[in-house]
Structure 1
């Protein structure tokens, strides 16, 4: 398992990469072989997974911010003349973020040496 500090750096870099790809001109968008909705969902799932793993005590805050952040990041496309914001794209990204949050939460539950959840006593 990756140490917390590098995991935090990778999480923030993934957010920066997603924002860049989302608001940059369409010609700069990387191309892959996945269907575009799957590509979007996986990107947000991975980013949210990284944040929740990096900040396990802030599961709810990370999850909520990144789910609503998907909507905000999609809205940033309104600033680019070559991009168009679509509600269905935002919904796919938000669903990916929610999925990533659930997977990360499950991983954090079985991860050895995980920090105690706020308000939960261990060994009681």
Structure 2
């Protein structure tokens, strides 16, 4: 067979059914995963990264918006800060699993930059206690995320 001037090698059993070649059809029984699981694994890193950057943007917006525009929740501000930064850390670990030193620097830098940017807004204030709480939350989230990633890799290996 020739395509655009280049010969293409064709296997002698190409186009034959698996039964005619003595092979079984590819499925979970011959060691391969079903197609839907392989495609989910292929796109999972992209989805984790989208979720991470969307969360990063949401945290930045909620940190810098005026207090009058922020939603009211039944939880205190400290619980909101801790929950947001823990989620931020978990998503960072899932989105970029092999880059731990960079992730630590990034999440701590993000916490510091967002807290410093609050000095530029009229109704917000930057406090050292907030930086500490957010930094601890982000590092705790990274740790939990790393444990979850390692557990997922171990499960995948079985």
User: Do the aligned partners of 1:52 and 1:63 also contact (CA within 8 Å) in 2?
Assistant: no
Alignment of 1:2-17 (within 5 A): 3-17=44-58
SS in structure 2 of the partner of residue 88 of structure 1 = helix
**TM-score (norm. length: structure 1):** 0.85
User: Do the aligned partners of 1:8 and 1:54 also contact (CA within 8 Å) in 2?
Assistant: yes
**TM-score (norm. length: structure 2):** 0.67
Shift of 1:113: 7.1
CA RMSD of aligned residues (A): 1.8
Deviations 1:10-38 (CA, angstroms, capped at 9, x unpaired): 10010111110111111111221112111
* Residue 27, structure 1, aligned to residue 68, structure 2: yes
SS in structure 2 of the partner of residue 111 of structure 1 = helix
User: Do the aligned partners of 1:45 and 1:100 also contact (CA within 8 Å) in 2?
Assistant: yes
SS in structure 1 of the partner of residue 74 of structure 2 = coil
Question: Of the two, which has the highest radius of gyration?
Answer: 2
Unpaired segments ≥5 residues, structure 1:
115-124
User: Do the aligned partners of 1:7 and 1:54 also contact (CA within 8 Å) in 2?
Assistant: yes
* CA–CA distance in structure 2, aligned partners of residues 60 and 108 of structure 1: 16
* CA–CA distance in structure 2, aligned partners of residues 76 and 113 of structure 1: 41
SS in structure 2 of the partner of residue 3 of structure 1 = helix
Alignment of 1:44-59 (within 5 A): 44-59=85-100
Counterpart pick for 1:94 among 127, 130, 135: 135
Deviation above 2 Å: which 4+ runs of structure 1? none
Unpaired segments ≥5 residues, structure 2:
1-40
| Higher RCO (CA 8 Å, separation ≥ 6 residues) | 1
* CA–CA distance in structure 2, aligned partners of residues 113 and 8 of structure 1: 21
* CA–CA distance in structure 1, aligned partners of residues 126 and 90 of structure 2: 24
